[in-house]
Chains A and B, each alone.
Chain A
């Protein structure tokens, strides 16, 4: 995102009408943000501080509880299990998405024939509705006749019950890595394009091989882009619901904070009763993490602009 501004000095007498015009033009967005972002957020936080049940949700007489629901949620063993699973899901997803994406970006940066077209084809998993990707992976990981187990069978390995119990976390991680590679590839590729080619030539003359060139030039110079890619990857992976839900309905070990909030808020999957307050507690925790990351993101972006 470009934020370089070219301030043209304006004559002082014109300032006022321009300010009014600016407010007029920005008004739709400001109203929109108040109504469609701030109010759901306030709603969410308020629900986490009251005890909402199905009944009080309708009557609107939920009693104020302060941080009680927070304490209850944090003291359940489910919370800690879910947190652990969420961290495994997020960290493994972004580590593999990033390293595979980077390897592919370096590969495609060599400008061979068809490289642009193939790079475009790599975008498909990212642009496909996650709903559809989830469905495909669910079928491929089917225990009886799924392709993955057939493939394992070729190597004489036993079939794996991918979508259940302790395997479900691995199943959704694999699908999610596949889903996230294109995004990492595209961003890292554009980062590579900005590295001056002369540096590589100089390094070649100094006798550096390809491996050294990568670790001494590419990787250090990509650091700001890496930072932003990982940050965005973290935020987007943390809030993932659709792919997990389609594949496993958040059962077994594949439950994350986001899918947990989803099932409690809307009474889906294993959560037979709707738990608005508990769901919004988990939601509020996710908001706080998002806020923290937005700040880090801005800071990282500011640092990149300083360069």
Chain B
């Protein structure tokens, strides 16, 4: 139902989007502004500089690297746990899948602060505090329930004839899983990976509690947090760091918008 007279709706839409995204624009604006002019509140960086980015790169590069390792590690852990279990739930119809499903929903709803407190005690016994593997595992708990539910939902809708045909040909469960189910689930695997990457990248709770003594081996969220904590607040380099830390979000939206939208809705409601 596209009418030619809808240009004014597009105009309203653009205005609304600009209002919504203004805070993000403001971050970018500040990141290009000289320190002396930051408080003047110009709508564009009149006093343009790239110094903030130089400062951000010099001090924050190790944190960005750590975040990358953690987020990728988290994707791997999430998929290793979620893929086989989704196969068991969706294709093999394991007994008790309703209970498992309920537990996953509960798991997804547990407040992160509760998990952090529990993990803290366990990690201190296991000497996992301030280590990357510890943080990767903790971060993966944000994504695993979502990943299992998303993948199970997708695999359930897979044509069974393909799987049955392979089984008649004598294929083992493992072959069916690796040769048929995984390749067919490619898109959903991409969605799952994107979200678990982003959530691990964005995590503040676990990083600030389980990895607070990690020094340079802490994620970028902690790099920014150090800026906030310091007495003289360096807004320019801080905003430049924030822009750098937003790069994965931007990439995700530009490269993979359809996967993102699929993830949001699939997590909440059925079609």
Which residues of A are interface residues toward B (Cβ below 8 A)? Answer: 1-8, 18-19, 21-26, 28-30, 32-33, 36-37, 39-44, 47, 57, 104, 107-108, 110-115, 118, 120-133, 135-140, 144-145, 147, 150, 178, 181, 183, 186-187, 190-191, 194, 197, 225, 228-229, 232, 235, 238-239, 241-242, 245-246, 258, 261-262, 265-266, 276, 279-280, 283-284, 286-287, 290-291, 293-294, 297-298, 301, 304-305
Contact = CB atoms under 8 A, between A and B. Distances in A.
A131 B266 CA distance: 25
A129 B6 contact: no
Which among B17, B122, B225 has the highest number of chain A CB atoms within 10 Å? B17
Given A1-B153, A44-B117, A144-B39, A125 B109 contact: no
Q: How large is the interface on B (under 10, 10 to 19, 20 to 34, 35 or more residues)?
A: 35 or more
Interface string B1-22: 1100011011011101100110
B153 A3 contact: yes
Interface of B: 1-2, 6-7, 9-10, 12-14, 16-17, 20-21, 23-24, 26-27, 30, 38-41, 80-82, 84-85, 87-89, 92-95, 100-103, 105-107, 109-122, 137-138, 140-141, 144, 148-150, 152-154, 156-157, 160, 164, 173, 177, 198, 201-202, 204-205, 208-209, 221, 224-225, 228, 235, 238-239, 242, 245-246, 249, 252-253, 257, 260-261, 264-271
A225 B269 contact: yes
B266 A7 contact: no
A194 B253 CA distance: 24
Contact of A108 (B13, B157, B268): B13
A301 B24 CA distance: 35
B242 A136 contact: yes
A128 B17 contact: no
B183 to A, nearest CB: 17
10 contacts: A25-B94, A43-B121, A129-B249, A136-B23, A139-B239, A241-B204, A242-B205, A261-B111, A265-B113, A298-B102
A137 B105 CA distance: 31
A229 B137 CA distance: 29
B114 A261 contact: yes
B259 to A, nearest CB: 12
B227 to A, nearest CB: 8
A140 B25 CA distance: 12
A228 B116 CA distance: 27
B27 A136 contact: yes
Given A43-B118, A112-B7, A145-B40, 9 more contacts: A2-B153, A18-B92, A29-B85, A104-B16, A138-B228, A139-B30, A187-B269, A191-B269, A261-B111
A128 B119 contact: no
Contact of B10 (A113, A126, A190): A113
Which among A2, A178, A298, A301 has the highest number of chain B CB atoms within 10 Å? A2
A36 B141 contact: yes
Given A120-B253, A120-B257, A124-B21, A26 B105 contact: no
A32 B84 contact: no
A129 B246 contact: yes
A271 B24 CA distance: 32
Contacts of B6: 110, 112-113
Contact of B41 (A25, A150, A183, A245): A150
B117 A304 contact: no
Given A40-B115, A261-B114, A130 B269 contact: no
B266 A1 contact: yes
A111 B148 CA distance: 33
A44 B13 contact: no
Given A283-B113, A286-B114, A131 B224 contact: yes
A123 B160 contact: no
A26 B84 contact: yes
B113 A228 contact: no
A4 B156 contact: yes
Given A37-B107, A47-B117, A120-B257, A25 B270 contact: no
A57 B153 CA distance: 42
A287 B48 CA distance: 49
B224 A135 contact: yes
A294 B106 CA distance: 6
B177 A25 contact: yes
Contacts of A2: 153-154, 156-157, 270-271
Contacts of B85: 25-26, 28-30
A111 B1 contact: yes
Contacts of B111: 238-239, 258, 261, 283, 286-287, 290
B113 A25 contact: no
Nearest to A249: B228
B87 A291 contact: no
B160 to A, nearest CB: 6
